[in-house]
Amino acid sequence: KSRSKGSDGEWLRTVVSSGTLGDKIAALTLQVQESPVHQVKALDLLLAMTKKKGRRESVMAIDTLKDLWLQDLLPENRKLRTFAQQPFESLAEGGGRKRLILWHFEDLLKARYAEFVSSFERLLGDSLPEIRNKALGSIYDLLSERPEQEQFLLRLLVNKVGDPDRKIASKASHLIRCLVNKHPNMKMVVTQAVEYLLYRPNIGVKAQYYSICFLNQMVLGQQDTELAIKLITIYFSFFKSFVAKGEVETKMLCALLTGINRAFPYVKGNDEMYNEQFDTIFRVVHISSFNTSVQALMLLLQVMSSRQSVSDRFYQALYTKMLDPNLCTSSKQAMFLNILFKSMKTDTSLARVKAFVKRLLQVCCSQHPSLVCGSLFLVSELLKIKPGIKSLIEQSEDNDDEEHFVDIPDDDDDDESPSARQPCAPCPERYDMKHRNPLYCHAERSCLWEVTGLSGHYHPSVSHFANLLQKGEPIQYNGDPLQDFTLMRFLDRFVYKNPKTKAKGKVCEDMLACIT
């Protein structure tokens, strides 16, 4: 056996000195796996290969060493210790010489692992995206499996969120998200690393945007109050900066508001930070794009609902935003309808709720069937909570307040008084659809005439929903109207529809007719 081992060792040394690159790496790996304590020199040779200028040799050595560190050399549940950190008081128990050798070997491993992970910094700066992509995968494997050098590896991974290549930046963000999902206790550590990147000087706006997108997609729990406060602090610092610059039409502002909305439920009453930003958020509602305005409205509604005092200013801003022409093509239609429903459900003024219902159905007259069906379903659900809205359907308008006009008298008719020559002014208490404030547009003095027009809609589902609403019956629907009644879903029915099959007797008759 000793002779065979000696011959094997001699053969491995021959391969290391004169074999191909793949054979050299395999031989060195086998030597380290057989006896790591006695083969530190073989480990040093593999580390030297990672520093070579040739990409192929360097990448092959790094891949091999990564597997070697994970499977054979690194402990699973703790970090490596230096020789000075070892518990020397335990030497009195016996076996001191062997322990000292192992402690010295662990000290050597710690130094060499730090040298190994530093080679990733060079690979991440390579000009080829494939090399950077491969290095990111190796960093994630080491970071997710072993705690050694996690701060350095995490910094390398987070820094690539700002990579000029969009694919590399996207993969880095994805790997960080996977890391947080696998190790939820690292949320705060990862957030601090991303925060350091955000406030780094000379950082690009694109890198900041990718970082904010990662933060606003982080899954929070009830125990993450401190993390939620930290996230909101980061969001508001950038929010104030972008609004001060006048950059309210950017995707960054929408991402910031999304993050604030997602973190707010976990703050648990610490909402004083919102007070000084109310005017700015209302300003964003009026001057920014529709999607950004919806996010701002959602934030305002959450904060005010937590205080149980939704202001008239919010209702007026929401009432105005319903006329935005971008509602038709927006990707936030579901969120906007959700804001409308929550706002009307908690509103104590029935007259204002009626004004919102009338304007919503007025807007539906020029929208796609999917949005119209969703709006009609919303009104039907609202009728269950606020039955007083049914008066718009069941009661007729008063005719006492109709406008009265008289003919203009002839020039030779001088007997009439000047007051008789003027038409009567319209009653100021009639419904005014152009009024800015829904509380004073007198919608309660009108009827829901808009449903009559929708009942004759070309789309059968819209017509059916409108007829049910006109009769005062609830709309029973378990799906998502915004998705189920789109044009693509309608065309998919024809694509996946089974072909018609003829009866067996009919097929036989057709075959006989063809033969004869």
Taking only the tens place, the pLDDT of each residue in 388-404 is: 888 888 777 654 444 54
Mean pLDDT, residues 328-344: 92
Confidence of residue 320 (pLDDT cuts 50, 70, 90): very high
Residue 36's pLDDT band (boundaries 50, 70, 90)? confident
- Residue 379 inside a domain? The answer is yes
Residue 365: inside a domain: yes
What pLDDT does 137 receive? 92
Phi, psi of 398 (to 5 degrees): -75, 140
Question: Does residue 389 form part of some domain?
Answer: yes
pLDDT at residue 359 in the model: 93
15 in a domain, yes or no?
Answer: no
**All residues at 6 or more sequence positions from 270 whose CB lies less than 8 Å from its CB, including other chains:** 225, 229
Give a yes or no: residue 459 inside a domain. yes
For the entire predicted model, the pTM comes to 0.75
CA distances from 94 to 65, 102, 161, 273 (A): 34, 14, 51, 61
Q: Tokens standing for 257?
A: 């508001």
The mean pLDDT of the chain is: 83
pLDDT for 362 equals 93
* Count of the separate structural domains present in the chain: 1
Long-range contacts of 426-434 (CB under 8 A, 24+ apart): 427/401, 427/403, 429/401, 430/401, 431/358, 433/358, 433/359, 433/362
Q: What pLDDT does residue 50 have?
A: 86
Closest CA to 213 of 267, 189, 177, 249: 177
In a domain, 70, yes or no: no
Of 166-180, 279-293, 301-315, 393-407, the poorest mean pLDDT is in 393-407
Q: Which amino acid is present at 469? A: L
Which of the residue ranges 103-112, 427-436, 439-448 would you say has the lowest mean pLDDT? 427-436
CA 334 – CA 340 distance, rounded (Å): 10
| Residues 214-235: tens digit of each pLDDT | 999 998 888 888 999 899 999 9
Q: What is the mean pLDDT of residues 176-190?
A: 92
Asked if residue 419 is part of any domain, the answer here is: no
What is the pLDDT averaged over residues 404-414?
52
Q: What angle do CA 68, 70, 73 make, to 5 degrees?
A: 65
Q: Token pair 């104590």 is at which residue?
A: 348
Give yes or no for residue 83 having a pLDDT over 70. Answer: yes
What's the average model confidence in pLDDT over 8-31?
77
Going by pLDDT thresholds of 50, 70 and 90, the confidence category of residue 168 is: very high
Residue among 420, 415, 444, 424 at smallest CA distance from 432: 444
Whether the Cβ atoms of residue 107 and residue 82 lie closer than 8 Å to each other: yes
φ and ψ at residue 373, rounded to 5 degrees: -65, -40
Q: Let me know: does 425 contact 404? Beta carbons within 8 Å.
A: no
Q: For residue 400, which of 438, 442, 429, 439 has the smallest C-alpha distance? A: 429
Domain-embedded: residue 79: no
Residue 464 has pLDDT above 90, yes or no: yes
Structural domain span for residue 459? 310-396+431-495
pLDDT for position 491:
82
In this prediction, residues 311-339 reach a mean pLDDT of: 92
Name which of 307, 392, 374, 315 is nearest 347 in CA terms.
315
Q: Which one is predicted more confidently, 423 or 83?
A: 83
